[in-house]
Structure 1
């Protein structure tokens, strides 16, 4: 076949592949939902707004409402479970480069897959150590300079990393509950 004859076939293949990628298709992306004082964490059941640090929310294939989380660590532990990995449509995290760590605002949610994360820093979220998300590597680097830590991407997040972060005794309620 000549190149001009292949063009319609290639266009059809590209169109079909685009339709298969509905997990990241922005047209099908649900917007982030506000976190209210009544919202509880999907994993631990605690009231989300009672704790500082970045929060997360995930939209799954089988639900139109967001699963909300009191920390980015809890959200990623949930998302890394094999049964949840295949069901994820998309997720959001707070960009702590533009919102206060103490009380992140709803208008600061960014797509989790696009964020840069700082791990092993000195700030604490609801469960102690957590991942600090940023919309740019420059803001992540600024945070890391002040608070320490390593900059990673969404693709670097796995259960091994999350287990290491979770084992580190922080000042959040998880460390206190282990003592009781």
Structure 2
């Protein structure tokens, strides 16, 4: 008896979960879990630098079972935190600025998208705070336009690795001095 009731419930939950994922990707509404409310004194969880003081895409992470959102001065710093094995298990959500929909100099928090659904440009000449920028876009077309102007190569979410980020940092220095 219990199995007969339980299976349809699981099916409904699974279908709802899929439709929620699809609607989140195609929706232009801001992502609900992201409310940075960044003020000028908020610092990067990874490096401690001021978040709003620098240009380029930012990232935010929510951790399982915690209300606080971890904010990062760059999507690159967010990845450097998220890809550490001890941090991967705890991550609930990751969001990045869609740089096809916001200004480079001061990204708008309404332009956050799910990091796993974004495409990325790495190796671009566009300068962000932490060395080479990992530039997120919601569309491949916007990413290709960026590449046409600033160079770089297209990557999927799964292709962004610590190894890739370390190679990109070679010769470029870690921090830009201001």
Band the TM-score falls in, shorter-chain normalisation: 0.7 to 0.9
Query: Does the Cα contact within 8 Å between 1:121 and 1:147 map onto a contact in 2?
Result: yes
Q: Name the structure where strand makes up a greater proportion of residues.
A: 2
Q: Which residue of 2 aligns with 1:122?
A: 125
Equivalence map 1:104-123=2 (5 Å): 104-123=107-126
Which residue of 147, 151, 157 maps to 1:154?
A: 157
| 1:66 corresponds to 2:69 | yes
Cα deviation, residue 157, structure 1: 1.2
TM-score (norm 2): 0.81
Q: Distance in 2 between matches of 1:135 and 1:63?
A: 27
Q: Does 1:100 align with 2:103?
A: yes
In 1, Cα distance between the equivalents of 2:96 and 2:37? 12
Which one is further off, 9-18 or 150-159?
9-18
2:114 maps to 1:82: no
Do the aligned partners of 1:71 and 1:127 also contact (CA within 8 Å) in 2?
Answer: yes
State the shift of 1:68 in Å.
0.2
Q: Distance in 2 between matches of 1:31 and 1:138?
A: 25
The question of 1:174 aligning with 2:175 is answered yes
Kept in 1, the 8 Å contact 2:34–2:60? The answer is no
1:35 deviates by 1.8
**Counterparts in 2 of 1:110 and 1:125: CA distance versus 1, 3 Å:** same
Q: For residues 72 and 168 of structure 1, what CA distance do their matches in structure 2 show?
A: 20
Where does structure 1 lack aligned partners over 5 or more consecutive residues?
1-6
User: 1:164 & 1:114 partners in 2: Cα distance?
Assistant: 24
Q: 3-state DSSP class of the match of 1:39?
A: coil
Counterparts of 1:32 and 1:138, CA distance in 2: 27
Which aligned segments of 4 or more residues in structure 1 are displaced greater than 3 angstroms? 7-21
Task: Find the residue that maps to 1:59 and give its secondary structure.
Answer: strand
Please give the alpha-carbon distance, in whole angstroms, between the structure 2 residues aligned to 1:143 and 1:16: 39
Cα shift at 1:99: 0.9
* Structure of greater Rg: 1
With normalisation by structure 1, the TM-score equals 0.80
